[in-house]
Structure 1
């Protein structure tokens, strides 16, 4: 018995099929609901726009990649593991390549607000890909690492769209080169942040010592008049 498809899944599939067969810009939510054979009201309950569909499509790809991770690979060097994870992502995207070409050609058909949400979704995906590859993504350094990975992926994604080789060797080579360059910058950023952190700690300690000195001075000034008054009374 075939697995039951939920309306959300059916709508995403229909949207990708329509994008592959025509201009994404011309596709409407009504078209997607009708192609999915889903009641328009039900489609509205799941998605308010094509941008919502695209974000959920990205999450679907995230789940496919993460679900296929082998814990035994966690001990591999981070660089190699990250290449494997990103190439697995391209493999998961392979059935949708015609649709993605249409969507990219239309700029995603996104407005300003949807573009900001799409960027947030994109960086969220890159954070998971980095985490899955053994890289830390917390703090300032982690956020910069995520931003860098997002830029690298965007460039390699466009190359992958046009890569007609069987094994996507050119895409993998470009990814390898970009990650190697990114690794050098990552080290420099890490060193810079460490130095800045140590400098801030020194400044904070000096500020704390100065504050303590000021408090002791205030305490001395507050007790001095009392001492003078006691001397006069005697």
Structure 2
């Protein structure tokens, strides 16, 4: 017997549970619907595909980071950016194995649409990270900052997914070093771009 349509959070939670029992690739949407006592149409009313459910997991990390930022949890400057990124990582920490599986699935040959969507996802998350940490560069400096922060974020994220240190201290140390290098490089560029005084 079918129950009423589950809400999106119930669907995400059940998908995580099923994927942890088998794997992200192996569990099916039909299995998900059966576990929730609903039909596939009810799943589709919230998520058009399994990848949409994966994106919702990353959206949760975005939301957790923005909520923490809105309560004044982060400082400004480099410390605030590091704190915001670590908050995003920590939200995904309980599901690191699952996140690795999701990313491996997205990167499989032929999944060009998922990879294109992934680029958009990265850009959107980095934009929120910059906003919540008060980065306010303009013009070419904004472009340079966004590219550099994106590189630091991605390098740290890859490290985080395999980091077993206590409270991910190794990830935080790496991220802090990378963001510090970004700021030093940007400071140098700013000084060099100023007109020479006569």
What TM-score do the two structures reach when normalised by structure 1? 0.70
- Across the aligned residues of Structure 1 and Structure 2, the Cα RMSD in angstroms comes to 2.7
1:177-197 Cα offsets, whole Å, 9 max, x none, are: 1111222333355567x66xx
1:10-52 per-residue CA deviation (whole Å, 9 max, x = no partner) reads 2222222233232322233323333343321011111111221
Question: What corresponds to 2:63 in structure 1?
Answer: 63
User: Whose helix proportion is higher, 1 or 2?
Assistant: 1
The answer on whether the counterparts of 1:21 and 1:99 sit within 8 Å (CA) in structure 2 is no
SS at match of 1:26: coil
2:100 aligned with 1:95: no
Structure 2-normalised TM-score?
Answer: 0.81
| Match in the other structure for 2:22 | 22
- Secondary structure at 1:162's aligned position in 2? coil
Alignment length (residue pairs) = 190
Distance 1:47 1:164, change over 3 A: same
Give deviations 1:52-103, integer Å, cap 9, x for gaps: 12222222211111112265556x4401111111111122112222321322
1:167 corresponds to 2:167: yes
Whether the aligned pair in 1 keeps the contact of 2:6 and 2:36 (CA below 8 Å) is no
In structure 2, the CA distance between the partners of 1:31 and 1:188, relative to structure 1 (3 Å rule), is farther
Say whether 1:32 aligns with 2:32: yes
Which residue does the alignment assign to 2:82? 83
Change (3 A) 1:43 1:73: closer
Gap runs ≥5 in structure 2: none
Cα displacement (A) at 1:144: 3.5
Q: Which residue number corresponds to residue 12 of structure 1? A: 12
C-alpha spacing 1:173/1:34, structure 2 compared with 1 (3 Å): same
Distance 1:21-1:150 versus aligned 2 partners, 3 A rule: farther
Contact 2:100–2:161 (CA<8 Å) still a contact in 1? yes
Which position in structure 1 is the counterpart of 2:184?
Answer: 184
Task: Judge which range, 82-91 or 33-42, deviates more.
Answer: 33-42
Larger displacement relative to structure 2 (41-50 or 107-116): 107-116
C-alpha distance in 2 between matches for 1:71 and 1:104:
31
Q: How does 1:136-151 map to 2 (within 5 A)?
A: 136=136, 139-151=139-151
Runs of 4+ aligned structure 1 residues displaced above 4 Å come to 70-74, 137-140, 188-192
Over 3 Å counting, the alpha-carbon distance change for 1:186 and 1:11 in structure 2 is farther
- SS of the counterpart of 1:101? helix
